[in-house]
Amino acid sequence: MPFKIVRNDITKMKVDAIVNAANPALRQGGGVCGAIFAAAGPAKLKDACKKIGGCATGQAVITPGFDLPAKYIIHTVGPVWQDGKHGEPALLHDCYTNSLQLASQHKCKSIAFPLIASGVYGYPKDQALKAATAAITEFLLDHDMKVYLVVFDKKALSISGKLFANVKQYIDDHYVEKARAKFQRPGNVIALEIQEAFYSIPAEPGAGLENILDRLDESFTQMLLRLIDERGFTDVETYKRANIDRKLFSKIRKDNGYNPSKRTAIALAVALELNLDQTLDLLGKAGYTLSHSNKFDVIIEYFITKKVYNIIEINEVLFYYDQHLLGA
């Protein structure tokens, strides 16, 4: 981990390997393939591919990156979409899995993919995205690697129509813009509606600040570790499900006073499959809450209330709405 969706030109990604959506003959084509050949040095890459000879659908081969920032180019051939009943999903899954395994064999720590087969090969974008995230997530459960899915803009991704409609409706029902309905004026009275989350520590008469501070509630780290134990998760399961790396999780575990970013705290709440009240409790330990004046927060609340804890699926929707992603 982690897995991240980014807007970029794949030929400019500074990673150990980039993946080329290749054709079976490994010849320079259009789209992503053409751009990679052009950036790597067409003559050099053509010669390297000619020596390999070709690549079967679902398989992957590797060449040097030549003039690219990436050390390697992994070439994989996606399936041409027919109707989804001719083995396309399994072949597309193989494209990602075989590319990742090849990268691992060459000691790559980072890799960038395009959305394979979603261009001229006609694979529906929402199904191509589902196949990509499933294969990548499956691989990352047993391996440590930074994986990027590179798209030019959010139009290159297509979340399912039903999910989009449900999230959009939830946002419409719950999102309150800050500039709107902040306060009402009944006559000459300004009525402010304020949501506050605070912890009240009862103090004995004459108790000083030092005595109050000695009786603070459990910290974010203490609550997190308790919840991990209560749910029977391992540390590895937790940080991988949260889409954060081992080093960050180690920092949190070792420091009882660690104050994570809000996105990290939410990612861990999602990883632990907390309900909304439990999520707010955990966020409160780090000084955060969820607000209906923040679109990011409303989207997070939607998934938690629907008990959808797939962080990659959540990130797809956050990406679509131009919000920061969880974890990573």
pLDDT for the residue 31: 87
Half-sphere exposure of 33 (CA within 13 A, CB side): 22
pLDDT at 162: 79
pLDDT tens string 248-274: 999 999 999 999 999 999 999 999 999
Q: Which residue has the higher pLDDT, 30 or 24?
A: 24
Last residue of a domain, one of 128, 158, 188: 158
How many angstroms separate the CA atoms of 133 and 312, rounded?
A: 7
Examine the domain organization and report whether 187 and 249 are in the same domain: yes
Give pLDDT tens digits for 264-307.
Answer: 999 999 999 999 999 999 999 999 999 999 999 999 999 999 99
Residue that finishes a domain, picked among 158, 190, 219 = 158
Tokens in use for 149? 């899915």
Residue linked to tokens 């029902």: 173
Whole-number percent of the chain with pLDDT over 90 = 74
Domain assignment present for 325: no
Q: Six-digit token pair at 315?
A: 């990130």
182 and 142 assigned to the same domain = no
CA atoms within 13 A on the CB side of 136: 27
The CA distances from residue 284 to 168, 217, 232, 243, in Å, are 27, 11, 23, 21
pLDDT at position 158 over 80 = no
Question: How much is the pLDDT for 100?
Answer: 98
pLDDT for residue 188: 45
Confidence band, pLDDT 50/70/90 cuts, at residue 156:
low
Selection from 179, 182, 217, 178 nearest residue 197 by Cα:
217
Q: Is residue 61 situated within a structural domain?
A: yes
Q: 267 with 242: CB under 8 angstroms?
A: yes
Task: Check whether residue 265 and residue 292 sit in a common domain.
Answer: yes
182 and 132 in a single domain? The answer is: no
**Is residue 287 in a domain?**
yes
268 & 295 share domain: yes
Say yes or no to pLDDT of 237 above 60.
yes
The pTM assigned to this predicted structure is 0.81
Are residues 171 and 195 located together in one domain of the fold? yes
Distance, in Å, from the CA atom of 111 to the CA atom of 147, rounded to the nearest integer, reads 5
Mean per-residue pLDDT, 23-52 = 95
pLDDT number for residue 203? 52
Q: H or E segment at 207?
A: none
Nearby residues of 169 by Cβ (< 8 Å), 6 or more positions away: none
Residue 65: CATH number of its domain:
3.40.220.10
Q: Is there a single domain that holds both residue 13 and residue 137?
A: yes
Q: Is 152 a domain residue? A: yes
Backbone φ and ψ of 236, nearest 5°: -60, -45
| CA separation for the pair 55, 123 (Å, rounded) | 19
Specify whether 265 is located in the same domain as 291.
Answer: yes
- Least confident stretch, 154-158, 224-228, 237-241, 289-293: 154-158
Is 11 in contact with 35 (CB distance < 8 Å)?
A: yes
Q: Does 27 share its domain with 110? A: yes
- Would you state the pLDDT for residue 210? 58
Same domain, 153 and 201: no
Question: What was the pLDDT predicted at 249?
Answer: 95
Q: Please give the residue range of the domain that contains residue 149.
A: 3-158
Given 108, 123, 158, which residue is the final one in a domain?
Answer: 158
For residues 36-52, average pLDDT: 97
- Is-contact 210 302, C-beta < 8 A? no
Statement to judge: residues 87 and 19 lie in one domain: yes
Kindly state whether residue 253 falls inside one of the protein's structural domains: yes
Per-residue pLDDT, 17: 98
Q: Is residue 328 part of a domain?
A: no
Q: Please check whether residues 166 and 198 belong to one and the same domain.
A: yes
DSSP β-bridge partners for residue 3? 147
Is residue 186 situated within a structural domain? Answer: yes
pLDDT of residue 186: 45
* Domain presence at residue 229: yes
Region for residue 260 given its phi and psi (left: phi exceeds 0; alpha: psi -120 to 50; beta: otherwise): beta
With tokens 């632990």, the residue in question is 272
Q: Rounded to an integer, what distance in angstroms lies between the CA atom of residue 292 and that of residue 298?
A: 6
Q: How many domains does the chain have?
A: 2
